[in-house]
Amino acid sequence: MTNWIDACSSDDIDAEDVIRFDHGGRTFAIYRNDANAYFCTDGLCTHEDVHLADGLVVENTIECPKHASIFDFTTGEVETPPACENLHTYPTVVRDGRVMVQI
Amino acid sequence: MAGIVILGAGECGVRAAFTLRELGYTRPVTLIDAEPALPYERPPLSKNLACEAREIRHADAYLSAEIELRQGTQVTCIDLGGKTLRLVDGGVIDFDQLLVATGARPRLFPGMENCATLRTDRDARRILSRFTPGARVGIIGGGFIGLELAATARRAGAEVTVVEAAPRILGRGVPPQIAALVQARHTDEGVKILTDTGVVRADETTIALADGTELGFDIVVAGVGAVPNVELAQEAGLTCDNGIAVDAAFRTSDPAVFAAGDCCSFEWRGNRVRLESWKAAQDQGSHAAAAMLGSGEVFSKVPWFWSDQFDMTLQVAGLFDLAGAMHTRDTGDDTCIVFQCDPAGAISAAAGIGPGNAAAREIKILEKLIERQTQADPSILADPSVNLKRLLKA
């Protein structure tokens, strides 16, 4: 069962940045790239339980603040270890200025 | 058989092995591990009482990448002429190319041979099991390992004393402003830190100070640096200079042999340096693997270290000239960032501390600016209203 969840306003995230979004006892990271497209992944790094929202977004990648794993947040794929497992990604759309995530 | 043999299965060796496969190398890759356990991450060993050694890669990852992992294998000799490794059990392993990634081991000064030291998961189990409420823990050395162990022991309820010979803790690579914050936090938590205090002798339960005082403990741990494991390389005739000497692509003095990680010294921005760093070991392993396959790229990754103590994380990017001028970026809250520029005006080093990952993003940006050798006016970098990320885009 998946639902479209209203996560935040599209203005809540700066271009090329990320915020943390908690919902239903889970935590997610929502990204806006510099082309103003929005993406959502699991909120914790797959290497250690660290919030990726404290990390650095560069183009379409997020670098974990703790041990510098790098993921492509559009696909969830690991670009640089130590993480070995990809992030799960969630469909994300913007409707009427709201970022909607299918969780 | 033959192919590429990697001697040492720490972060560097493991990363090199997988990088070879990622780059399309199809010949045999043999990874020789002196320890019996599946290669594991060492950083958590000093930071958590739980002592859960996380595997760098799962066992099936080696199988599916066709990396032959030879665990518990002791090498006695590198025969450069014959391109073979000789094993303690009499076996031999041939190589076409060899990567030496033998790492480092804890240093002990004469007179303290019986102190506990931390390098392996076995060491950690032995030490951490002694961190119990009320236990008297003596730590020699106010560096990363000593202070992380001090914090871990204190959180377990132990009475902790850190003895540091130098006038301040973290004197090797951390700016004094940041070290002072770390020391204050330890003191607040009840850790006793004795600086300017020389140790003449120590064993499992005693630290004898230079002034004649003898301190008694339930366990004494020494964290006074590491020495590179160069003996096999040295006996084989490879050039060593504070580590196995390599060029900017991690080539040793023998064209078929490379070295990377804690065991090597390399050229970085005009200086020969040897790092003891988890991230550098990975970066160098990856770079050396590419070089073994013919890449001529020069290594440019910036040294990066981190330490967790209590709820604080400290990160350092670049190498500080501790005698040089430092600048503070006034981040206002409970974080602190200190940076330095080189004589040419480029950002050369940065350190940050704060609760959790509060300082991490700015240090990451500064690390990238250091890598690019970005020129910046220190007063601009120090201004907290300046968005550092904009400088990355410039």
Do residues B224 and B115 make contact, with C-beta atoms less than 8 angstroms apart? no
CB contact under 8 A, B389 and A63: no
The rounded percent of chain B whose pLDDT value lies above 70 is: 100
Q: How far is CA B318 from CA B224, B280, B329, in A?
A: 22, 11, 16
Question: pLDDT tens digit string along B93-144?
Answer: 999 999 999 999 999 999 999 999 999 999 999 999 999 999 999 999 999 9
What pLDDT does B50 receive?
81
What pLDDT does B230 receive?
98
Do residues B163 and B199 make contact, with C-beta atoms less than 8 angstroms apart? yes
Task: Given the cut 0.85, state whether the ipTM is greater than it.
Answer: yes
What pLDDT does B49 receive?
86
pLDDT, average across residues B377-391: 91
Q: How far is CA B267 from CA A14, A66, B296, B305, B324, in A?
A: 39, 27, 15, 18, 21
pLDDT, average across residues A31-47: 96
Q: How far is CA A52 from CA A25, A29, B147, in A?
A: 17, 7, 27
Question: pLDDT tens digit string along B314-367?
Answer: 999 999 999 999 999 978 778 999 999 999 999 999 999 999 999 999 999 999
What pLDDT does A1 receive?
56
Query: Is residue B243 within a helix (H) or strand (E), and if so which, with residue range?
Result: none
Q: Residue B67 has which token pair?
A: 């990396």
Using an 8 Å CB-CB cutoff, list chain A residues near B313: 66
CB contact under 8 A, B61 and A84: yes
Asked if A5 reaches chain B (Cβ–Cβ under 8 Å), the answer is: no
What pLDDT does B52 receive?
74
Confidence bin at B7 (pLDDT 50/70/90): very high
What pLDDT does B53 receive?
80
Confidence bin at B48 (pLDDT 50/70/90): confident
Inter-chain contacts counted by CB atoms under 8 A, chains A and B? 43
Which of B133, B140, B88 minimizes the C-alpha distance to B113? B140
**What are the strands of the beta sheet with A70-72, ordered from one edge?**
A56-58, A61-63, A70-72, A78-80
Using an 8 Å CB-CB cutoff, list chain B residues near A81: 15, 18, 282
Q: Residue A100 has which token pair?
A: 């909607």
Confidence bin at A63 (pLDDT 50/70/90): very high
Residue B17 and residue B6: Cα distance in Å, rounded? 7
| CA B351 and chain centroid, separation | 16
SS3 content of chain A, % helix, strand, coil (to 5): 5, 50, 45
Asked if A76 reaches chain B (Cβ–Cβ under 8 Å), the answer is: no
Q: Tokens 């990448």 label which residue?
A: B65
Of A16, A54, A81, the CB nearest to B361: A54
Q: How far is CA A82 from CA A20, A46, B18, B262, B306, in A?
A: 22, 9, 12, 18, 15
Q: Which residues of A60-89 are buried (b: 16+ CB within 10 A; e: fewer)?
A: bbbbbbbbbbbbbbeebebeebbbeeebeb
Q: Residue B327 has which token pair?
A: 């600048």
Using an 8 Å CB-CB cutoff, list chain B residues near A63: 364
Do residues B335 and B316 make contact, with C-beta atoms less than 8 angstroms apart? no
Decide: residue B59, CB within 10 A, 0-12 exposed, 13-18 middle, 19+ buried: exposed
Asked if A51 reaches chain B (Cβ–Cβ under 8 Å), the answer is: yes
Of A48, A63, A81, the CB nearest to B364: A63
pLDDT at A101 over 70: yes
DSSP B123-192: HHHHHHTT--TT-EEEEE--SHHHHHHHHHHHHTT-EEEEE-SSSSSSTTTS-HHHHHHHHHHHHHTT-E
Of A16, A54, A81, the CB nearest to B357: A54
Question: pLDDT tens digit string along A85-96?
Answer: 999 999 999 999
Mean pLDDT of chain B: 95
